[in-house]
Structure 1
Amino acid sequence: MALFSRRKKSVDQPDVETEASAADAIPQTDGEPEAPAESVPTVGISVQAFRGVGAEAGPEVSAPVESGSDADGAVDEGIQVPRPASGAPVIAEEQMGGPRLPLAPALPPEQTHTVDGLVDNVLLRTALAEVEEGASNEQLLGVMRQSLQGHLYLRVHGDAREQMAAGESLSVGIVRDDDRTFMLAYSSGAALQASIQDEEDAASTSAIAQPATLVYQQVVNGGFTGIIIDNSSVPHRVVFPTELLQKALEQGDAEMSVKTLLAAPRDEQTPVRVAEALAKTRSWVAINDGSNGQPVGIAEAHTTDGRRFLQLFSHPLEVVVLGRNDQPMPFEPEQLAKVLSEHDEIAGVLVDIAGPSIAIEREDLSAVMVLAVDLGDD
């Protein structure tokens, strides 16, 4: 966790000091209300819009994403994997129908600072920049998807370091509206600065940076109505109700290990590290549910030279935002190992095709493949 204490107010550029802390959890909050830039927004996204496993209804997502790929020119082509009675999938080359969507940039963005000393959550900041008043549920789910990796900033009334040293609860910024209480969080230094630049007590404000999933868990555990991200950056703000946060957290691993690796700077060992994460945590596949008249099957991608990559997803939201007629289905590491071991024609896996994404060749998937050996022929 990083602590950032504001020592003086400056509209152009705040004076910021950075201190690293060994704390790995948010202390229990004792927030005081912060006057919002406008009236408290209504919760503009329904929990029913989150298409999770077992959900009866889901959104019809149609928002396109930007082009780009990390699989040597991979083309988004779903092919069917019919399920025989034995339960072992058999790969069959049959292209899924429907329009083909462009892919998002594969590589994560470079780290930037809109305020010196505060590292922006660029993926979340970019997603929020595309949000306008009246944004659809699908667009808001796209923002949530990008918020599940990286960090959020929380405002603290007073000096966060002094409060923590004294063992006190942090007094974080919140908004109260009758019986509704929302925690306030920020995607970037600029959004945080916008929330305090006109306040008389700005000099006594500090901030902490925490993993977004840890902040979301605090909202769930703390009895909040929800969270408002970048409240002072209207219209580029979102409101997520607590029930939606809880559902998103339940469907991902606690550290969002795969998403975190994909959002981090890359090196030659990144594919191996992602494979190791896939060997330890549940992933998801995209299933054609048969409503378009085609057999139920798992989506794949083809490279321009004809190689086939199984599409994997770190979270069901990654499937939803593609806007295809697919349903997310959980896929345990042992299931992935079984499919790869039984189908040598699969060249590897393509993870989170909406971006940031990565193509992992079969030779870098040894951490997963060894699970098939451990399973034996039972």
Structure 2
Amino acid sequence: MALFSRRKKTADPSTVEEDAAVADAPVEDAPAEEQAEDAVPSVGISVQAFRGVGADAGPEVAAPVDEPAAPDQEEPVVAPPRPRREPTINVVEDEKPRLPLASALPPEDTHTIEGLKDNVLLREALAEIVEGASNEELLGVMRQSMQGHLYLRVHGDAGEQIGAGQALSVAVIREDEKSFLLAFSSGAALRAAVDAEEDPAATSAMAQPVGLIYQQVIDGGFTGIIIDNASAPHRVVFPTELLQQALDQGDSEMTIKGLVSAPRQSDTAARIGEVLAKKKVWVAVSDGSTGAPVGIAEAHTADGKRFLQVFSHPLEVVALGRDDRPMPFEPEQLAKVLSSHSELAGVIVDSAGPSIAVERDALAPVMVLAVDLED
């Protein structure tokens, strides 16, 4: 549990104890933040931008094509992460906005305040947001928010409130009939919110999984959630309807995304293989309208291996900016494709980054499903 307390501007920050993830602590309809800038930030995302991202079902599609590349085309390879675009004043009119991408390898654990582990992927995606951000860029923040945890700011000592069986008094912002839960991607963002107040009350920080916090916003009747409210312009507002759609279209526990975005362990690929045998994923489908081959997208590595591209959420497909259509793919469908195409070396998960290649030996739990289908 992390505790902040400042009585006056010149006081030293209090010590920060180790943060604790409290999964089931009740949250009360908390008092509003007492700040001069209580108005809801304008950097919000249109719910309409999310509609149509993922279909509930799709037609039968061709498996990855076996044809070699045409002579005048380069053999496709898994490209290194694209450099981040620095914001510019003059933008070419037909330039398509890109969602924030990330390196293939997950970030290392980082603490901008000792004791509070940052959600680095979300923090870095927010760092790219500027005034006038496009819906595509904001969807990129949503994509990177769907893993790890967020911090809630609790008025008073969260540990004492939990110990006494009280509902946690978390920070919210109210505007007329609207109410927004406040959440933070990092210790630095939470500290910025505390420092923005003239006379802040004692504050503690509580970490919870992102999916659980989004569900609390939905179940609690909030209008939405504001992430890093005091870090303008690097903050976002997600309406509750958007959170509901995001959770409906993906795994509410965000299991695959969590494994791919966490520091690599020796058994990471094997654990992902086990999840792929149980959880729905998404594939990128081309209908040929843009000139790309009809079928499911695959990737070739520099050494000639072929991998099927799968995604933990439809937003991961959108992030690539290729005009492919996300389509849900059940474990049995994945098993059928892999068993029918022995030339596929495995799957690449979330190629917009962080990403991981999972080869056939780690996909044994999936391949068992193919045997069951034949019986």
Distance 2:36 2:233 in 1: 13
- SS for the counterpart of 1:16 is coil
**1:144 — aligned with what?**
142
Is 1:276 aligned to residue 250 of structure 2?
no
Q: For 1:358 and 1:5, how far apart are their aligned partners in 2?
A: 37
The Cα RMSD (Å) is 2.5
Q: TM-score, normalised by structure 1?
A: 0.85
SS in 2 for 1:32: coil
Counterparts of 2:142 and 2:366 in 1: how far apart (Å)?
28
Equivalent position of 2:230 in the other structure: 232
SS in 1 for 2:316: helix
Offset from partner CA, 1:225-262 (integer Å, 9 cap, x none): 10000000000000001000000001111211000001
The residue type equivalent to 2:103 in the other structure is P
The equivalent of 1:40 in structure 2 is 40
Moved more, 291-300 or 132-141: 291-300
Q: Does 1:91 align with 2:53?
A: no
The answer to whether the 8 A contact 1:173-1:184 is kept is: yes
Runs of 5+ unmatched residues, structure 2: 82-101
Q: 1:26 to 1:252 in 2, by over 3 A?
A: farther
Identify the range of structure 1 (315-324 vs 360-369) with the bigger mean alpha-carbon deviation. 360-369
Match of 2:361 in 1: 363
How many correspondences in the alignment?
Answer: 345
1:111 Cα deviation after fit: 0.8
Distance 1:11 1:124 in 2: 30
Contact 1:13–1:115 (8 Å) recurs in 2: no
Note closer, same or farther for the CA distance 1:236–1:20 as it changes in structure 2 (3 Å cut): closer
* Cα offset, 1:284, TM superposition: 0.4
Contact 2:19 2:206 in 1 (8 A): no
Q: Matched residues in 2 for 1:28 and 1:112: separation?
A: 27
Alignment of 1:22-171 (within 5 A): 23-34=22-33, 35=35, 37=37, 39-42=39-42, 44-50=44-50, 51-54=52-55, 89=63, 91-93=65-67, 103=81, 104-171=102-169
Quick one: structure 1 residues 147 and 36, their matched pair in 2 at CA, closer, same or farther if it must change by over 3 Å? farther
Q: Aligned partners of 1:321, 1:285: CA distance in 2, in Å?
A: 13
**Does the aligned pair in 2 maintain the 1:26–1:215 contact within 8 Å?**
no
Percent of matched pairs sharing the same residue: 63
182, 191, 196: which one aligns with 2:194? 196
Q: Distance in 2 between matches of 1:245 and 1:139?
A: 16
- The whole-number CA distance in structure 1 between the counterparts of 2:16 and 2:330 is 44
State the alpha-carbon separation in 2 of the partners of residues 43 and 95 from structure 1.
43
CA gap 1:292/1:88 in 2 versus in 1, 3 angstroms? closer
- The answer on whether the counterparts of 1:6 and 1:16 sit within 8 Å (CA) in structure 2 is yes
Maintained 8 Å contact 1:14/1:115: no
Gaps of 5+ in 1: 56-81
User: What's the CA shift for 1:7?
Assistant: 4.7
Moved more, 3-12 or 33-42: 3-12
Q: After alignment, is 366-375 or 292-301 more displaced?
A: 292-301
CA contact (8 A) 1:36 1:175 kept: no
TM-score (norm 2): 0.85
Question: What secondary structure does 1:260 align onto?
Answer: helix
